[in-house]
Amino acid sequence: MEQGLKLLTKLVVEFAPMVANLIQNQAENSLATSNYQLPKILKEFSQFINAPQATKSFSINSETAKVQHQLAVDQRETQLQVVNQEQETRLKLPEVYKILDNWPLRLYPAQILDSHTNNQRKPLKIFIVPLQVKLDQFNILNNKTSEIELILAEGLRKFLTQHYSLQSTIRATEFLAGAWYSKSFHDESSIKALFNVLKTEPILILESEIDGDYLNFRIAYWGIGQENYHSQQITRLPYKAIIQESVKSRALAWKEIRDKLLNLGENLEDIQQIGQDNIYNLEVLEKIEHWEQEGVDISKLSLKYQANHQDLEKLYPTLITCHSLVAAWIADVYYLVNYDVPPLLPELLPSLSADKLDLQLLQTIVAGYQQAYQGLDKNRRDLIPELTLQLAYSLSHLSDRTWVQAQVDYSISTWLELRQVSIQEFSHPLEAIASVIKIADEPYVQKLQAYFQAISDRQSILAVEKLLNIIAHLKQQPTQAIAHYSHTLTAHFSPIIAISANAEILVSGCADKTINVWNWQTGKQICTLGDKIEWH
């Protein structure tokens, strides 16, 4: 888990600025892809603005948020339509057939594009590039490298099925294990080929490659409508050291067993027959320790341990953890950027490790999330309070809550800024919230309550209960409703006298002492009542 967290931390540090940039670019491009939706949105908003002042002051925050949210939804739908049309055109281009001659996947583009899900959100597609390990340098016999790919795929599949299932309506991922087989394309060339044909599909590629004593871990990612993909190496895992540590542990364990058997009077030759490769590894280990004590630089010596499948299995948990954490982070990024879905990984971190988490690593991860959230400022800033509050709640179990509490403070201050409330005018931030709280704010206040209950902050719990009491009192008060146009009577300027009980007939009076009768549903005049009836 430690190696996985270090890898995730490095990814967050390097990837978070790109995420914030993605969100900001999405906001800048929204007008270009949503122009045909703007008249409808502006009309609805102008009707709200022209409503009576008392009505506006009651619902200004909720109505503004609704308009912002609807505009974002419309922009995404339009963007998706545009990229789908581009995809259809791209697949018909002649150069696509040349790319398919060296296609790095076992699946053709049409098979990948044809994702049958009940969810309108496009799931993040995840590919693994098979890891090639040169087992001969460890004298490992009778082991297939394909076994590593199968075990890694099964571990990642188990994690994704549990937390990011394809059937999920919130954060769906589609893990396409075994799809990668290319030997003609490598590294960026294969990624470029995929991106040119599948740029309309959100895709994450996880690639591991042996480089000497280290394992290079790289990722490539692109989301919906991105003009380019993001690719980088994010860590170098000391895989050889992990295997050697397992070999040494087995050798030392064998030494204890051998000594116990000798003390029991067993014959040394008989004991050696059951020692297998542990005998050789113990000899190498003892030589190395002796030579190091004598000042010999063993790095200049060619000494190989004999490893077996048990040692190779020690590498599997590290590989699975690294792949799982990175896949979770990218999935969270994808759904945050495109669908405003809060991240899940912070809630999962405590359960992913039985060991004590490194607080410094976690702090870096949280800072990365906050940097990504800050990219929402100009576009979807109203999401920041709940996102940061949820992040704090997911890590409320930690003993050191200094920087977790900072997330709560940032959440509350942003909430107040959105409502143009100065916190300096109040002795406590929760008092500032009480001054402008509305019924629509109940979900946010309930999340505050859950956090303070989790950390057993009695004083804050009581303050939040007062906020909930204010909301309960507001619910009991009569409220003004916002009027919406439902029918229009053309050429009608007279006062209304009466409306029939079945709401089908409307009667109005005129200055010429006549009475007009209207069809309420169609808005057409039926007749005029005066000295004589005139039918229309």
Q: Are strands 525-529 and 505-509 parallel, antiparallel or unpaired?
A: unpaired
Would you say residue 218 has pLDDT above 80? yes
CA-based nearest residue to 284, from 273, 272, 298, 271: 298
Residue 83: pLDDT band by 50, 70, 90 thresholds? low
Segment among 65-69, 290-294, 461-465, 525-529 with least mean pLDDT: 65-69
Instruction: Write down the pLDDT at residue 360.
Output: 64
Q: CB–CB of 337/171 below 8 Å?
A: no
Write the pLDDT tens digit of every residue in 301-332.
878 888 888 888 888 888 888 888 889 989 99
Strands 173-175 and 525-529, bridge-based pairing: unpaired
Q: How many CB atoms lie within 10 A of CB 459?
A: 10
What average pLDDT does this structure show over 155-184?
A: 88
Does residue 151 have a pLDDT over 50?
Answer: yes
Is the pLDDT at 524 greater than 70, yes or no? yes
Predicted pLDDT of residue 165: 95
Q: Which of 66-75, 187-196, 418-427, 521-530 has the lowest mean pLDDT?
A: 66-75
Mean pLDDT of 77-100: 55
Matching residue, tokens 């209304």: 496
Q: Name the more confident of 363 and 518.
A: 518
Beta strands across the sheet bearing 496-499: 496-499, 505-509, 515-519, 525-529, 534-535
pLDDT at 168: 92
- Please check the confidence at residue 72 and state whether its pLDDT lies above 70: no
The 10s digit of each residue's pLDDT in 247-293 is 999 999 999 999 999 999 888 888 888 888 899 999 989 998 888 88
**Residue 243: closest CA among 352, 134, 131:** 134
d(CA 343, CA 329): 8
pLDDT at 48 > cutoff 50: no
Binning pLDDT at 50, 70 and 90, where does residue 37 land?
Answer: very low
Q: How far is CA 266 from CA 257, 388, 525, in A?
A: 11, 65, 114
pLDDT at 467: 94
Q: What is the mean pLDDT of residues 470-498?
A: 69
Question: Please, which residues have CB within 8 angstroms of residue 60's CB and are 6 or more apart in sequence?
Answer: none
Among 41-45, 155-159, 466-470, which stretch is predicted with the lowest mean pLDDT?
41-45
Name the average pLDDT for the chain.
76
d(CA 294, CA 347): 51
**CB burial string 52-68: b at 16+ within 10 A, e below:** eeebeebbebebeeeeb
pLDDT for residue 426 is more than 50? yes
Percentage of residues in the chain having pLDDT higher than 90: 20
Sequence-ordered list of residues with C-beta below 8 angstroms from that of 294, at least 6 positions apart, any chain: none
Contacts made by residues 480-487, CB under 8 angstroms, sequence distance 24+: 480/52, 480/54, 480/55, 480/58, 481/55, 482/48, 482/51, 482/55, 482/59, 482/63, 483/51, 483/55, 484/47, 485/47, 487/520, 487/521, 487/523
pLDDT band of 54, cuts 50, 70, 90: very low
Asked whether residue 477 carries a pLDDT value surpassing 60, the answer given is yes
Per-residue confidence (pLDDT) for residue 304, from 0 to 100 = 83
C-alpha–C-alpha distance, residues 334 and 217, integer Å: 20
What is the pLDDT confidence band of residue 39, given thresholds at 50, 70 and 90? Answer: very low
Average pLDDT over residues 199-222: 86
Report CA 127 to chain centroid distance, whole Å: 17
For residue 372, with 0-12 CB atoms within 10 Å meaning exposed, 13-18 middle and 19 or more buried, which class applies?
buried
Instruction: Judge contact between 317 and 337, C-beta under 8 A.
Output: no
Question: Alpha carbon of 42 to those of 71, 93, 102, 349, 477: distances in Å?
Answer: 10, 39, 49, 43, 31
Output 77 or 518, whichever has higher pLDDT: 518
Please state, for a pLDDT cut of 70, what percent of the chain lies above it.
67
Name the residue type at position 406: A
Two tokens at 213?
Answer: 């004593």
Burial class (CB in 10 A: 0-12, 13-18, 19+), 424: exposed
Q: Which residue has the tokens 């792949």?
A: 323
Tally of residues, the chain = 536
d(CA 25, CA 32): 11
Quick: pLDDT tens for 328-361: 989 998 998 888 888 898 778 767 654 455 566 6
- Residue-wise pLDDT for 373-406, tens only, equals 777 655 678 888 988 898 888 878 777 777 788 8
pLDDT in tens, 433-445: 999 999 999 999 9
470 has a pLDDT exceeding 70: yes
Q: Running DSSP on this structure, what letter comes out for residue 128?
A: E
Q: Which of 266-270, 305-309, 413-417, 512-516 has the lowest mean pLDDT?
A: 512-516
How far is residue 201's CA from residue 223's CA, in Å, rounded to a whole number? 7
Residue 442's H or E segment, with its range, is helix 442-454
Q: Are 256 and 280 in contact (CB under 8 A)?
A: no
What's the whole-number mean pLDDT along residues 161-184?
87
